[in-house]
Amino acid sequence: MPFVELDTSLPAERLPPGLAQTLCAATADILGKPAERVNVTVRSGLAMVLSGSAEPCAQLVVSSIGVVGTAEQNKAHSARFFDILTAQLGLGQERIVIRFYPLEPWQIGKNRTVMTFL
C-alpha cells in the first residue's frame, strides 16, 4: 500500500490537470503495486526552500511496504520518479528531492485493523 505525497511551491494553476491520477498510475508502475492500493496527496502553493533557494521546487515522499527498503531499489525508483516529476512539473531535477520510507504492515491501519491481519 504505497503512499505518495507531493509538496510543491508551484501554484495549483501551474500544475497539470489530473496530476494526482498521473502520479497514482506512475507509482503503481514504478513500484509494481496495483493502482487500487496507491494513495496520493498533492499540496501546492507552499512556502518552500530547497538547497537554500526559494525558487520553485518540489519534494516527493514515497512510503511503501517491501519495495523501498534498499539503496538499489530506491536508485531505480528515483530515476523513474524524477522522469515523471520533471516532465509534469516543468522543474529541473536540481529543484526536486525525493525521500523514501519503508513501511511495515503493522504501521498501516485499514478496515479497523492493520495490514498485518488483512
Reported as a pLDDT band with limits 50, 70 and 90, residue 24 is: very high
- Summarised one tens digit per residue, pLDDT across range 61-100 is 999 999 999 999 999 999 999 999 999 999 999 999 999 9
For residue 28, the enclosing domain spans 2-117
Q: What was the pLDDT predicted at 55?
A: 98
pLDDT computed for residue 91 by the predictor: 98
Q: What is the CATH number of the domain that holds 77?
A: 3.30.429.10
Convert 33-101 into a string of H (helix), E (strand) and C (coil).
Answer: CCHHHCEEEEECCCCCCECCECCCCEEEEEEEECCCCCHHHHHHHHHHHHHHHHHHHCCCHHHEEEEEE
What per-residue confidence (pLDDT) applies to 46?
98
The predicted-structure confidence for 28-52, as pLDDT tens digits, reads as follows 999 999 999 999 999 999 999 999 9
Q: Under 8 Å CB-to-CB from 111, ≥6 apart: which residues? A: 118
Give the contacts of 104 (CB within 8 A, at least 6 positions apart): 65
The total of structural domains in the chain comes to 1
Query: Which sign, positive or negative, has the C-alpha torsion 52, 69, 71, 88?
Result: negative
Q: Per-residue pLDDT tens for 9-18?
A: 999 999 999 9
What's the pTM value of the predicted model, to 2 decimals?
A: 0.95
